[in-house]
């Protein structure tokens, strides 16, 4: 702003005058400016503000940044892997953004399931998300033969003007394989450079593909010079609709397809063909807004000069493994956001009034009401934390629907990854596993699975990442995430340190069928739990072997030494003899591993860290009058491990115990509220505080 | 840049003219501009380029960014905690920087030891670091009574013009408790606004402290209005020297101290007093360059308007725990860099020619020579990796020099943190531990130690963080880091999964003295190793108890089951009877845990991941003719744990074994080269490949 006082008025006047001048100089020559020339586009960079050139002069004026204006971004995304890419892209956008954003996501069912949950739990202020069903749009493009690896999804960008809400006038369209290194508002601001007839903003292609001289008989689609890359697009939707865009591109595509077999680069071929016909439609964007790292890229021309990269585009099928002199630099930028703690992006916007999402507001209010002096402050804080959840983080095939199928449900953090291979060997059936990880650990986990033949061979194991936040392990929240994502009618509620009998998966399905579980009787099947304290241990292949090991003292009933109450009601003596399932009664502190219908009660998320988390769940099953049926042949064995940090902490801290007691009391009050007199027996159970399991 | 063609020449001319005009309007009124007024400084923000205001007009011209110019930054840093703060500050600067940087660090011995190693191993291109000894400068300020928590160190900023090299004309001075949210070149560019007489650029104080009305008889040092904050300073060193700065501030300080008891805010009081006398010296900087988060801060005035924060200053003793409406936002920004993977900042600069540091160049060349198709590519890559090292990450008291003292040396990663408390109970002596962590894990580790009474009570345990890079655990590199940092004449080379006998520390010192280890005889004292496979295990308090447990089968000699060769030469049968130390002979694959003088050979860093890493070291001790003396009363016991990822991987991968064999061969060739014929016996040992320990 100008210094105050009279001279400034004068100054302002003079400036106004000058601006008109500038405007004339700059935009008089629109045609020249409008013609794509890599170099020209670079030099003409109207947003270059750090090149160190044109410092002291002041044209071209940087377009006004749209302060607090809501910016719209459209992305096409399908499948598990693209969903992960999209998250990294969004993180890079959020890191630099200063405006409210509205993401318009054109997705398949898988991506929608993942991303809806992710954004819902991410709760980023001033971010809205809308979903559009890719299936509904497919018919409009499925007639186009296409050879590009993006398949039909690439072509979807053509139909956005019709697919997005009619009142939406402008949108930035992004591929999932781009990474931002700057504020997206600077890109949005380039709409200001559009002349009245321009409708599409694009960066010139940074390869010679469209010049058609890459190899003999290389016949690309028609394009202006090098053509344009469609990884980053500015669309004036309003004008495209007026101009009858749908008809326009369909005509061009149809005509070209008379002589060309198929599109090689999906939508990009068609956009370029249309632009070749109507050069006036395109506003060339500075190359820094789409630095293309394909093989043989000419991108260096662009960025070697510009010290200021804005958007990087991994538009090679090789992605990060692409060969490029500077790829290390780009990879670091990409990894920055790949591993960036997404929780840190839950920061409000300054300057712009941005009402927090309904959910966020509740949480904020609840958190604000907490008393920092309360000994259990940390705990209550943890209960209130909403963790970001990325379900089916890796590719996963839903199990074929079978009436008696059962999913193993468990949760773990990084220090238990080594259990996964053994678990896969013991349990061939479907699994739903919640992993408590940081963003960086999620990437280590990804590499771990890729490196393991056993794990990467399995399609029926669903991994759900719950992102770390807060000091305590949210064990029951994790269980609920895994439980909610189980797709079979029954679930085996297990823990990661247990290996089930090799035959358990088949035995369970048989028992479920025999006992008509769920359909006719409301029951929980108890799988007796044992433990070995030995490291080297040959896993028993039958009940007979289990009994032998018990007698030889190399196997114990679970927690036999320090917490027998936890499993005593299973009545191991009876199990030794049992030939058929037998019923047992609930008792205080009972916490068996059970098989129940998927619609069983959820775990109480207030139990965090260590202690009593399963006990409460079994209590609720009993309150809902689930029969407890012990299976005569079933068993699962706990392997030894160092105590987790949470446990060591529990053991050392009296506060921890007191807070746990507090939760137990609250839990029981709720129980009485919901089950009335029936819940009385739990009160008596609760009233003798004990070292909990 | 302007579009090409004739009209542009005209345009340029017109602009030139205009700039002169602008210059006049803007900087004519220097006096007014020069007077500190919070609001004025904000509005007058000449670098505000995102506020959404003054968009279309083009004054004031943003100062030219110094493309590729070397920027100088001075920071005063003393002690372990400030060193950690400095790293976070530097990360934030590096993240946004586009210029070569030269850091001038005024440090005490501790900080220098830490930071020299850190920057040496960080190898960030286009970053230079110089150190200046705080002790040498202290006399110049130690006469000033000071009440500020920064102690004498705060005052050091006053003597920078004298302390820094005379040829250095400009420098940015930063407190360690600031965080950058923008390119530091934008700050450097503000030097351009200095009038000829201005020498110090400062942001106005964002509290009412200097108004002197905070409480009755509150008597602050003299200042212009609210005065200025010295967390971020632009210094024209050349002019300060000409103006006789040293004398200037000394006179002022001396005079004020006649009536004032001491400085309350260290250097800041004196800077302000000088400025009060000579207002012409100061160039007020836009408030966004030093957003002060002290209690009762008025900073909101500044940033609530500016959507673009540049530098955040945690200038409250409470630091991150300061109460502030928006503290969550600032904390997230800070945590971003606290947990940021510093390895990602090893990226070259674009546009600017920046020769990599000598070390970096070597590594680059060696890496470039690797053959990607080589099965051992990953391994060789890992051997060549230079890991960032942050020694004495936490406060640490060097042990008092004692002729026979011994330091326990070990290494670990996150999954072994739980061992630390037990280890501290078993070993009261000094320890030097290398931790292999990510930047984020290093913070978890910090919180873990703070939360543990046992660990935070210990001053003689030095923790050295080696930052994770690459897929394999660089076990020997870690051992060498811990070994190099041991400060006692002797070291006990242990592993993290072992707990030594409670008496071992004392026994070892006695034995070292008795046996005249080091001084008269070159020997390695062998501490016999045992293992328990049981979880619950009561640790034996004497050799007698060890023997009893051996006989009862609840204790075994280490790796008795799967790798007896590793410790057989210790001759456990003889140990049972031994009353005095006895000598044993080296044999193939022997890998005992030994006590040696600190100057023993280093471990061979080519052994990464799992396998043979200790064997090679013992072999080298033998080659250097160390006697191997087994101690009769000493013992250490290995506790069970899940196999580490590296081990599981080793077991599953034949490549891993082949590559290990390759290293073994290379290792032996070196051995023969260095020890000639004497090394022959190792060849025979090497030639029978075995499952290595």
| A301 lies within 8 A of chain B by CB | no
In the structure, what pLDDT confidence band is assigned to residue B118 with cuts at 50, 70 and 90?
very high
Q: Kindly state the tokens that stand for B3.
A: 């579009």
Average pLDDT on B485-504 reads 97
Cα(A622)–Cα(A613) distance, rounded to whole angstroms?
Answer: 15
Contacts of B451 in chain A (CB under 8 A): 649
The CA angle B644-B462-B448, to the nearest 5 degrees, is: 60
Q: Kindly state the tokens that stand for A638.
A: 């706990």
Cα(B324)–Cα(B315) distance, rounded to whole angstroms?
Answer: 12
Contacts of B415 in chain A (CB under 8 A): 414-415
Does pLDDT of A62 surpass 50? Answer: yes
Of A330, A345, A360, which marks where a domain is finished?
A345
Beta-strand relationship, A529-531 and A593-597: unpaired
Q: Are the C-beta atoms of residues A159 and A106 closer than 8 Å to each other?
A: no
Torsion, Cα of B621, B625, B630, B635 (10° steps): -10
| A424 lies within 8 A of chain B by CB | no
| A51 lies within 8 A of chain B by CB | yes
In the structure, what pLDDT confidence band is assigned to residue B20 with cuts at 50, 70 and 90?
very low
Residue written as token pair 């935070």 = B456
Residue written as token pair 């008989």 = A217
Q: What distance in Å separates residue B670's CA from the closest CA in chain A?
A: 33
Cα(B289)–Cα(B47) distance, rounded to whole angstroms?
Answer: 10
Residue B384 lies in a domain: no
Residue A27 lies in a domain: no
Contact B2 A304 (CB under 8 A): no
How confident is the model at residue B34, as a pLDDT? 29
The CA angle B66-B67-B68, to the nearest 5 degrees, is: 110
Contact B329 A350 (CB under 8 A): yes
How confident is the model at residue A692, as a pLDDT? 45
pLDDT digit string, tens, across residues A153-199: 889 999 999 999 999 999 999 999 999 999 999 999 999 999 999 99
Q: What distance in Å separates residue A571's CA from the closest CA in chain B?
A: 25
How confident is the model at residue B608, as a pLDDT? 84
User: Which residue of B lies nearest to A559 if distances are taken between CA atoms?
Assistant: B536
Q: What distance in Å separates residue A668's CA from the closest CA in chain B?
A: 31
User: Which residue of A lies nearest to B336 if distances are taken between CA atoms?
Assistant: A344
Average pLDDT on A522-549 reads 92
| B340 lies within 8 A of chain A by CB | yes
Give the contacts of B12 (CB within 8 A, at least 6 positions apart). A57, B2
A537/A440 same-domain check: yes
In the structure, what pLDDT confidence band is assigned to residue B647 with cuts at 50, 70 and 90?
low
| B438 lies within 8 A of chain A by CB | yes
Give how far Cα B378 sits from Cα of A45, A693, B166, B469, B481, Å. Answer: 42, 44, 48, 12, 22
How confident is the model at residue A27, as a pLDDT? 37
Q: What distance in Å separates residue B33's CA from the closest CA in chain A?
A: 7
Contacts of B453 in chain A (CB under 8 A): 652
B653/B586 same-domain check: yes
How confident is the model at residue A307, as a pLDDT? 63
Cα(A463)–Cα(A443) distance, rounded to whole angstroms?
Answer: 13
How confident is the model at residue B646, as a pLDDT? 57
A133/A253 same-domain check: yes
- Candidates B4, B31, B57, B64: best to mutate against A (most CBs of A within 10 A) is B57
Q: What distance in Å separates residue A352's CA from the closest CA in chain B?
A: 8
| A20 lies within 8 A of chain B by CB | no
Closest by CA position to A274, among listed A172, A202, A166: A202
Cα(A132)–Cα(B547) distance, rounded to whole angstroms?
Answer: 72
Average pLDDT on B509-533 reads 91
Contacts of A421 in chain B (CB under 8 A): 648
In the structure, what pLDDT confidence band is assigned to residue A31 with cuts at 50, 70 and 90?
very low
Q: Are the C-beta atoms of residues A421 and A454 closer than 8 Å to each other?
A: yes
pLDDT digit string, tens, across residues B96-116: 998 999 999 999 999 999 999
Closest by CA position to A162, among listed A119, A104, A231, A115: A104
How confident is the model at residue B430, as a pLDDT? 98
Contacts of B350 in chain A (CB under 8 A): 303-304, 306-307, 309, 326, 329
A324/A472 same-domain check: no
Contacts of A641 in chain B (CB under 8 A): 641-642
In the structure, what pLDDT confidence band is assigned to residue B288 with cuts at 50, 70 and 90?
very high
| B552 lies within 8 A of chain A by CB | no
User: Which residue of A lies nearest to B8 if distances are taken between CA atoms?
Assistant: A25
Contact A1 B347 (CB under 8 A): no
Q: What distance in Å separates residue B606's CA from the closest CA in chain A?
A: 22
A469/A555 same-domain check: yes
Average pLDDT on B116-140 reads 95
Q: Kindly state the tokens that stand for B517.
A: 């280890």
B206/B262 same-domain check: yes
Q: What distance in Å separates residue B354's CA from the closest CA in chain A?
A: 13
Of A319, A345, A371, which marks where a domain is finished?
A345
Closest by CA position to A62, among listed A48, A41, A83: A48
How confident is the model at residue A511, as a pLDDT? 96
Cα(B611)–Cα(B588) distance, rounded to whole angstroms?
Answer: 14
- Beta pairing partners, A132: A106
Does pLDDT of B360 surpass 80? Answer: no
Does pLDDT of A383 surpass 90? Answer: no
Q: What is the CATH number of the domain that holds A433?
A: 3.90.550.10
Residue B64 lies in a domain: no
B560/B646 same-domain check: yes
pLDDT digit string, tens, across residues A107-131: 999 999 999 999 999 999 999 999 9
Number of domains forming the structure of chain B: 2
Higher local confidence (pLDDT), A365 or A100: A100
How confident is the model at residue A46, as a pLDDT? 37
pLDDT digit string, tens, across residues B574-612: 999 999 999 999 999 999 999 999 999 999 998 887 778
Of B285, B317, B345, which marks where a domain is finished?
B345
Residue B356 lies in a domain: no
How confident is the model at residue B560, as a pLDDT? 83
| B307 lies within 8 A of chain A by CB | yes
A–B interface: beta-carbon pairs under 8 A: 243
Q: What distance in Å separates residue B147's CA from the closest CA in chain A?
A: 30
A320/A451 same-domain check: no
Average pLDDT on B423-440 reads 97
Contact B21 A43 (CB under 8 A): no
Q: What distance in Å separates residue A161's CA from the closest CA in chain B?
A: 29
Q: Kindly state the tokens that stand for A72.
A: 């719209």
Does pLDDT of B319 surpass 90? Answer: no
How confident is the model at residue A378, as a pLDDT? 79
| B333 lies within 8 A of chain A by CB | yes
How confident is the model at residue A637, as a pLDDT? 97
Contact A335 B344 (CB under 8 A): yes
Mean pLDDT of chain A: 85
Higher local confidence (pLDDT), B151 or B398: B398
Higher local confidence (pLDDT), B257 or A370: B257
Does pLDDT of A306 surpass 60? Answer: no
In the structure, what pLDDT confidence band is assigned to residue A83 with cuts at 50, 70 and 90?
very high
A508/A639 same-domain check: yes
How confident is the model at residue A41, as a pLDDT? 38
How confident is the model at residue B415, as a pLDDT? 85
Torsion, Cα of B82, B87, B91, B92 (10° steps): 0
Residue A666 lies in a domain: yes
Residue B673 lies in a domain: yes
Least confident window among B55-64, B338-347, B350-359: B55-64
Beta-strand relationship, B282-285 and B200-204: parallel
Does pLDDT of B558 surpass 50? Answer: yes
Does pLDDT of A52 surpass 60? Answer: no
Contacts of A414 in chain B (CB under 8 A): 414-415
How confident is the model at residue B305, as a pLDDT? 60
Average pLDDT on A520-543 reads 90
Q: What distance in Å separates residue A662's CA from the closest CA in chain B?
A: 22
A280/A413 same-domain check: no
Residue B294 lies in a domain: yes
Contact A336 B341 (CB under 8 A): yes
Give the contacts of B670 (CB within 8 A, at least 6 positions apart). none
Contacts of B49 in chain A (CB under 8 A): 49, 62
- Beta pairing partners, A467: A437
Contact B58 A63 (CB under 8 A): no
Domain enclosing residue A80, as ranges: 71-345
User: Which residue of A lies nearest to B349 if distances are taken between CA atoms?
Assistant: A307
Residue A363 lies in a domain: no
Contacts of A648 in chain B (CB under 8 A): 418, 421
Does pLDDT of B83 surpass 50? Answer: yes
Q: In what order do the strands lie in the sheet with B291-292?
A: B178-180, B311-313, B291-292
Residue A663: CB atoms within 10 A of its CB come to 21
Least confident window among A371-375, B48-52, B122-126, B184-188: B48-52
| B450 lies within 8 A of chain A by CB | no
| A29 lies within 8 A of chain B by CB | yes
B553/B620 same-domain check: yes
In this complex, the residue of B43, B61, B67 whose CB is nearest that of residue A58 is: B61
Does pLDDT of A450 surpass 70? Answer: yes
In the structure, what pLDDT confidence band is assigned to residue B439 with cuts at 50, 70 and 90?
very high
A667/A609 same-domain check: yes
Contacts of A5 in chain B (CB under 8 A): 29, 32
Average pLDDT on B225-252 reads 96
| B544 lies within 8 A of chain A by CB | no
How confident is the model at residue B368, as a pLDDT? 80
User: Which residue of B lies nearest to A18 if distances are taken between CA atoms?
Assistant: B18
How confident is the model at residue A294, as a pLDDT? 78
Contact A49 B62 (CB under 8 A): yes
DSSP state of A591: -
How confident is the model at residue A305, as a pLDDT? 60
In the structure, what pLDDT confidence band is assigned to residue B236 with cuts at 50, 70 and 90?
very high
Least confident window among A344-353, B30-39, B371-380, B491-500: B30-39
In the structure, what pLDDT confidence band is assigned to residue A321 with cuts at 50, 70 and 90?
low
Q: What distance in Å separates residue A222's CA from the closest CA in chain B?
A: 27
| A547 lies within 8 A of chain B by CB | no
Contact A4 B32 (CB under 8 A): yes
Contact A305 B417 (CB under 8 A): no
Contact B535 A648 (CB under 8 A): no
pLDDT digit string, tens, across residues A199-223: 999 999 988 888 887 778 888 999 9
Mean pLDDT of chain B: 85
Contacts of B421 in chain A (CB under 8 A): 648
In the structure, what pLDDT confidence band is assigned to residue A562 with cuts at 50, 70 and 90?
confident
């Amino acid at each position: 702003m100008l210094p105050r006082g009279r001279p400034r008025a004068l100054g302002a006047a003079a400036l106004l005058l000058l601006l008109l001048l500038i405007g004339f100089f700059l935009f008089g020559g629109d045609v020249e400016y409008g013609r794509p020339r890599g170099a020209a586009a670079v030099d003409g960079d109207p947003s270059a503000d750090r090149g160190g050139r044109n410092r002291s002069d002041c044209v071209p004026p940087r377009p006004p940044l749209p302060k607090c204006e809501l910016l719209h971004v459209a992305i096409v995304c399908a499948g598990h892997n693209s969903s992960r890419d999209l998250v990294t892209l969004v993180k890079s956008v959020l890191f630099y953004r200063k405006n409210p954003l509205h993401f318009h996501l054109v997705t398949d069912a898988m991506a929608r399931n993942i991303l809806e949950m992710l954004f819902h739990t991410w709760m980023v202020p001033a971010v809205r998300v809308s979903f559009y069903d890719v299936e509904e749009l497919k018919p409009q493009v499925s007639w186009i033969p296409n050879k590009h690896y993006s398949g039909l999804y690439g072509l979807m960008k053509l139909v956005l003007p019709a697919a997005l809400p009619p009142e939406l006038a402008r949108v930035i369209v992004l591929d999932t394989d781009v990474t931002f290194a700057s504020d997206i508002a600077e890109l949005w601001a380039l709409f200001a450079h559009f002349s009245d007839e321009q409708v599409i903003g694009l960066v010139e292609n940074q390869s010679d593909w469209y010049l058609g001289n890459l190899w003999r008989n290389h016949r690309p689609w028609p394009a202006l010079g090098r053509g344009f890359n469609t990884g980053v697009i500015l669309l004036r939707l309003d004008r495209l609709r007026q101009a009858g865009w749908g008809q326009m591109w369909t005509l061009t595509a149809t005509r070209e397809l008379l002589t060309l077999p198929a599109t090689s680069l999906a939508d990009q071929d068609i956009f370029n063909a249309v632009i070749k016909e109507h050069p006036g439609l395109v506003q060339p964007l500075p190359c820094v807004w789409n630095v293309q790292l394909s093989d043989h890229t000419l991108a260096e021309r662009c960025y070697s000069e510009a010290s200021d990269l804005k958007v990087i585009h991994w538009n090679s099928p090789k992605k990060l493994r692409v060969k490029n002199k500077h790829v290390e630099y780009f990879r670091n930028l990409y990894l920055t956001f790949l591993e960036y703690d997404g929780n840190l992006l839950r920061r409000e916007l300054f300057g712009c009034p941005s009402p927090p999402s309904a959910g966020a507001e509740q949480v904020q209010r609840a958190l604000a009401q907490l008393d920092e002096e309360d000994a259990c402050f940390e705990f209550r804080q943890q209960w209130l934390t909403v963790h970001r959840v990325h379900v089916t983080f890796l590719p996963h095939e839903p199990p074929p629907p079978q009436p008696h199928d059962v999913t193993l449900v468990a949760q773990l953090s990084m220090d238990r990854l080594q259990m996964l291979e053994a678990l896969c060997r013991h349990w061939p059936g479907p699994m739903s596993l919640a992993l408590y990880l940081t963003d960086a650990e999620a990437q280590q986990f990804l590499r771990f699975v890729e490196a393991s033949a056993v794990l990467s061979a399995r399609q029926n194991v669903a991994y759900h990442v719950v992102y770390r936040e807060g000091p305590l392990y949210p064990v029951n929240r994790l269980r609920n995430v895994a439980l909610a994502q189980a797709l079979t009618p029954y679930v085996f509620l297990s823990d990661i340190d247990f290996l089930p009998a090799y035959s358990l998966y088949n035995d369970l399905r048989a028992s479920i069928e025999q006992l008509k579980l769920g359909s006719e009787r409301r029951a929980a099947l108890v799988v007796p739990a044992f433990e070995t304290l030995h490291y080297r241990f040959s896993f028993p292949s039958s009940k007979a072997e289990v009994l032998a090991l018990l007698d030889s003292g190399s196997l114990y009933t679970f927690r036999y030494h320090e917490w027998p109450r936890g499993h005593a009601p299973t009545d191991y003596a009876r199990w030794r003899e049992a030939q058929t399932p037998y019923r047992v009664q609930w008792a205080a502190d009972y916490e068996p591993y059970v098989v129940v219908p998927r619609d069983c009660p959820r775990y109480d998320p207030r139990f965090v860290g260590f202690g009593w988390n399963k006990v409460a769940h079994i209590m609720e099953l009993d309150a809902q009058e689930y029969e407890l049926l012990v299976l005569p042949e079933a068993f699962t064995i706990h392997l030894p491990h160092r105590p987790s940090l949470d446990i060591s902490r529990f053991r050392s801290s009296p506060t921890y115990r007191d807070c746990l007691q507090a939760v137990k009391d609250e839990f029981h009050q709720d129980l009485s509220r919901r089950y009335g007199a029936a819940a009385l027996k739990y009160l008596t159970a609760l009233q003798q505080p004990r070292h909990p399991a």
